Amino acid sequence: MANPSELKVLNQALSGIGVDEESLVSILRKSHDEHKKSMRKGCSKLFYEDERQFERWDHTALRSFKAEFKRFKDVVVLSLMHPWERDARLLKKALKKGPQQYNVIIEIVCTRSSDQLLGARKAYHSLFDQSIEEDLASHINGSERKFFMALVSAYRYEGSKVKEDSAISDAKALLNAIKNVDKRKAVEDDEVVRILTTRSKLHLKEVCEQYKKLSDKAIIEDVEVELLLKETMECLCTPQIYFTRIFDAALRDDANEDAKKALTRLIATQESGEIKRVATKFEGKIEDRVKGAYKDVLIAVLAK
């Protein structure tokens, strides 16, 4: 007969991110047929009896269970993979998935350095026998194609020089484009595309400051309804806000699979100190929600 503590371990197996492998092994080490039968009876979250009184896995629980075990493998594979190959494969998968994964493309091209992004483009050639630009053009249509093509092809200046007068001019151009969104999307505006795909990240941060002075609102607030532009601005100018949003979504009790995958990707691919500072704010939730080997590797990677 399974005791209540063992049933609690199994019933809580899907209550967070990852699984408590050590506890599960401890239970299985001493388990026998009758013991397993009593555990199935006591774990209604995982098992149920069908109309023929046949004990079986709940299909949704089984799928979630597999995903949680796979999470450790995913974070290890991404962490050990060469960054250029990793980003190329993430870009390829995002293009195949379509619009619901455009945020992954934005995240990669806007948080990497120019050299890192160039490396990913080189890796794309080797892995898939075509350029990322060519593949992107065949998957994305309309005004978004031009925007993504420019983002992917960008090779930004990464020095410390910022010209205030240019930043003010760019801020005015963005404000004008965003005010005219009733006529067309801001990402369709040539000036918006030019500014977001050619300016350095330091310059764009100054543009955001100047925009706030002109508008009395942060640019992120003004582009709330235009998700593509909002995520691009977040990743380029305020990555800590973007990282915080991913941590918050993934560590909620009702987090969906996409949110959890985003956290795995973020932990395995981000190298800036900002990701660690954001993670520090969520230490309590990580302790409560993340489990087992996945938790160990997550903490280890962040500790770097």
pLDDT band at 13 (very low <50, low <70, confident <90, very high): low
Instruction: Say if residue 157 is exposed, middle or buried (CB neighbours under 10 Å; 0-12, 13-18, 19+).
Output: middle
Reduced to 3 states, what is the DSSP secondary structure of residue 122? helix
Query: How confident is the prediction for the chain on average, in pLDDT?
Result: 89
Per-residue pLDDT of 264-283, as tens digits, reads 999 999 877 788 889 889 98
47 has a pLDDT exceeding 90: no
pLDDT at 8: 75
At 272 the pLDDT is: 73
CA 75/CA 296 separation, integer angstroms? 11
* Among 226, 201, 211, CA closest to 170: 211
What are the sequence ranges of the domains in the chain? 4-57, 84-155, 156-236, 242-303
pTM over 0.85: yes
- 23 has pLDDT over 90: no
Task: Count CB atoms within 10 A of the CB of residue 162.
Answer: 16
pLDDT at 12: 72
Give domain 156-236's CATH number out of 1.10.10.60, 1.10.10.410, 1.10.220.10, 1.10.3720.10: 1.10.220.10
Question: pLDDT tens-digit profile of 116-126?
Answer: 999 999 999 99
User: Is pLDDT above 70 for 182?
Assistant: no
Between CA 109 and CA 215 the distance in angstroms is 28
CATH superfamily of the domain spanning 84-155: Annexin (1.10.220.10)
Q: Looking at the predicted structure, is the pLDDT value of residue 84 above 60?
A: yes
pLDDT tens-digit series, residues 197-228: 999 999 999 999 999 999 999 999 988 878 89
Three-state SS for 290?
A: strand
Whether the Cβ atoms of residue 154 and residue 197 lie closer than 8 Å to each other: yes
Res. 98: pLDDT tops 80: yes
Radius of gyration of the chain (CA): 23
- Residue 1 pLDDT grade (very low, low, confident, very high; cuts 50, 70, 90): low
Q: Fold match between 84-155 and 156-236?
A: yes
**Are 17 and 257 a contacting pair, CB within 8 Å?**
no
Contact residues for 193 (Cβ-Cβ < 8 A; gap 6+): 146, 147, 150, 187
